[in-house]
């Protein structure tokens, strides 16, 4: 059976800005992905609110995505693919910009490729979802300072760093969510149910080709 790990933050966990609750299993994008790919594929959800690519958060040290990823890979191995959807929370940390976020994400790609967590001890395929630009953050601007502006540089930064050392990383597959959806106008960073449907369908389409799924 094909196994796919979805490794992300609250936008993978399924936080809904309009209700401040978790949406249902089949509403959040990993669930949409599962239904789109069918029963012969096992989609594993690893979404955690507040998770970063590779940065520690004060008083929330378990939110460092780089620190926990090896455990997750070992727990669920063998994996055919890992979908990484992180970066939003990084911009709420002091001094972190879009370039740092992209570097953190590509560090996760490198970790997966070197993990031996794929079939027969090989490397899982990796698909990186580029976060969309933030919408209006409202009162959170005081907390995040230049986050809105920096988020508009996500696409450029991710693409530039992914292309920098393609031979070392084995090539990086990217899916730019900013071309598909917009962040919720309610809080500026989360996605609504309709957006999750779009994401799940887009990820399914990409993985079908990359994994040669019928």
- DSSP assignment of 124-139 equals PEEEEEEPPPP---GG
Residue 15's pLDDT is: 97
- Provide the domain limits for residue 84: 2-211
* Parallel/antiparallel/unpaired status of strands 125-130 and 173-176: parallel
For the chain, how many structural domains are there in total?
Answer: 1
pLDDT tens digit sequence for 27-74: 999 999 999 999 999 999 999 999 999 999 888 889 999 999 999 999
| Consecutive H or E run containing 84 | strand 81-85
CB within 8 Å of 82: residues ≥ 6 apart: 4, 5, 7, 73, 112, 117, 124, 125, 126, 127
In this prediction, residue 145 carries a pLDDT of: 76
Helices (H), the chain: 10-13, 29-37, 65-76, 98-113, 141-144, 147-151, 154-164, 166-169, 193-211
Q: Specify the pLDDT at position 60.
A: 87
Query: Which residue is it, tokens 């953190």?
Result: 104
- Residue 72 is predicted with a pLDDT of 98
Tokens read off for 15:
């936080």
**According to the model, what pLDDT value does residue 71 have?**
97
Residue 110 is predicted with a pLDDT of 93
Query: CATH number for the domain including 92?
Result: 3.40.50.1110
The answer to whether 63 and 86 are in contact (CB under 8 A) is no
Per-residue pLDDT, 165: 62
Query: Which residue from 29, 35, 40, 36 is spatially nearest to 7, judged by alpha carbons?
Result: 29
Q: How far apart are CA 196 and CA 26, in angstroms?
A: 10
- The closest alpha carbon to 70, from 130, 13, 124, 33, belongs to 124
Asked if residues 204 and 37 have their Cβ atoms less than 8 Å apart, the reply is yes
Q: Please give the Cα distance from 52 to 183 (Å, whole number).
A: 18
Q: Are 91 and 105 in contact (CB under 8 A)?
A: no
User: Which ranges of the chain have pLDDT less than 50?
Assistant: 169
Q: State both tokens at 65.
A: 């995505």
Residue 138: predicted pLDDT = 79
| Per-residue pLDDT at 35 | 98
Q: Of 138, 134, 132, which is closest to residue 155 (Cα–Cα)?
A: 132
């Amino acid at each position: 059976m094909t196994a796919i790990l979805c490794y992300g933050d609250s936008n993978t966990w399924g936080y809904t800005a309009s209700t401040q609750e978790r949406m249902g299993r089949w509403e959040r994008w990993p669930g949409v992905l599962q239904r789109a790919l069918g029963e012969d594929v096992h989609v594993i959800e690893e979404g955690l609110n507040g998770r970063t690519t590779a940065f520690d958060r004060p008083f929330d040290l378990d939110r460092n995505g780089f620190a926990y990823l090896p455990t997750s890979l070992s727990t669920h191995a063998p994996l055919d693919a890992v979908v990484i959807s992180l970066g939003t929370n990084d911009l709420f940390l002091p001094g972190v910009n879009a370039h740092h976020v992209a570097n953190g994400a590509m560090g996760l790609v490198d970790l997966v490729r070197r993990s031996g967590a794929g079939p027969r001890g090989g490397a899982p395929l990796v698909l990186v979802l580029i976060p969309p630009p933030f919408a209006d953050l409202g009162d959170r601007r005081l907390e995040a300072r230049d986050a809105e502006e920096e988020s508009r540089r996500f696409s450029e930064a991710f693409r530039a760093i992914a292309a920098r050392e393609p031979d070392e990383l084995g090539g990086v597959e990217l899916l730019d969510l900013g071309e598909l959806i917009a962040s919720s106008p309610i809080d500026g960073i989360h996605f609504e149910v309709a957006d999750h449907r779009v994401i799940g369908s887009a990820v399914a389409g990409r993985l079908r080709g990359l994994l040669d799924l019928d």
